[in-house]
Structure 1
């Protein structure tokens, strides 16, 4: 097969503070035929996730940054165009980590084959993929909700937060979601079945949250940080658990926040309320929990107790704008870019 032309989105420059479209550049490049053991992939769906903002920075983190000039990273659902792997046939669909590009060469051992008849292909980067597993592992391993307890989750209409609240309900806990705007709150409450949903943009947000948790908060699943966390902290119960999944409100900060140092007060709260706070990256739980997650999540979706919503954007060229909007909460559900048709 002759070389394939791939369109890709590269990191043009590292952002200082809030990123803009100038931090991205669209290029084309030739992708050669695969060598032994490799696959040539055609991207169908690209997942856009908040962690990608951290990969644009050179600051020390849990993963290596994207280098300037390199393709932006990301999980994809792709179809195999050409295979030199003995275990994967052309035409198969795979979950890969091939990034923001229309075509890619990958190692055949680095992908997971998907069954398109089992579930919609896009769910492999959503409710049945990394976001769903993040919710499952962080809540059950760190949050450990018990029947009758109260679980609060920020960004509750998003792919992680929506799953956290529903899994909490499945485990017999109360679920209180925090979301941005009346439409998202109505979705969280009326469609996902949370016990309450609070709009963090409301002027009396802190008072509404307090009223929604009359018995306090036993588990706070942290996705946001900032003002939302400040409203949650006084409501935490003795022995409350806080899985720290993300801090999206702080990702674009270019300097320390103004005002007094709140760390001593926070540490005093950790001590007096015997809080458990643990940051995590979902990959650390994959070996121990992923098989259970796939079994449980597939069953819950079939039963209707785990619902999901996707926000699909068409065209790889629209990925930068969609990503920037996500950092401001403009997406409604799991943000996915449809790069190409499911069937070539």
Structure 2
């Protein structure tokens, strides 16, 4: 009998078998694909990942891009930390350059907005991690580079990265719409700036730090305002929100968290022995409720290489209201890239 005519799992209906296959860790997919041609076909389709999302068992997967110093081109990878440790999985390059583009994760998909090779562009590039394939989305109304962008309740918002006088300085896209298209979001001229250096979503509000202060946009109330001065002073651009606390690093390379309710920064205690000081910076992401830090370090090949390392930190509150971190996993030197390379994008997708 042809392999395609066999049930996925002998003795079980295929609909039950599909649920069993969907529950297997994604790190086991390369091994499971060798079971049979029918299993390989299933694992290469988006169905198991859609089912994982419906069953609320989707796994986080770290997605990074490394910008090479000589060519300016970016190398993209999926990183799977312990306990599902797997070698970095290369991702096909996007169709257009990603220098200056903003990244927005939304479930299993990554949206890259704008970018530049001397001239800002309006491209929207979409990577579907279920199919490991790029496609082009509806272009933005305004060409942008280094803009603020994030998703709030499934809707993508982008602002800045273009002339403050642009008619569509701020706009939004609902990817789930029947015919997705960008719509202008009204914004007062008083808040408009060109370059945005960091973006985060906190309490359903989109926060961005710019050349002069910062901006808060509340989509639910359609209101704009300034970021608290204390937040701006401690925000160095790359940040991540975990448990409604915004985390970044200070000028001494220490990881800190900003409590929005109390309006103050707190250093994360307990990381000094296991993690380096991030004097040269780090990239942060929320990895399934853990704070993930990715950083560059000097390689062992006489300074010819840069090594990429990353760690996952579990965060908790102390009795005095402080923040304590515990390193759950640490992966050192997982990628070796040319000297001078740097992490330009770091997001968490769900598979």
The reply to whether TM is greater than 0.5 is no
Higher relative contact order (CA 8 A, sep 6+): 1
The structure carrying a bigger strand percent of its residues is 2
Relative to the length of structure 2, the TM-score reads 0.27
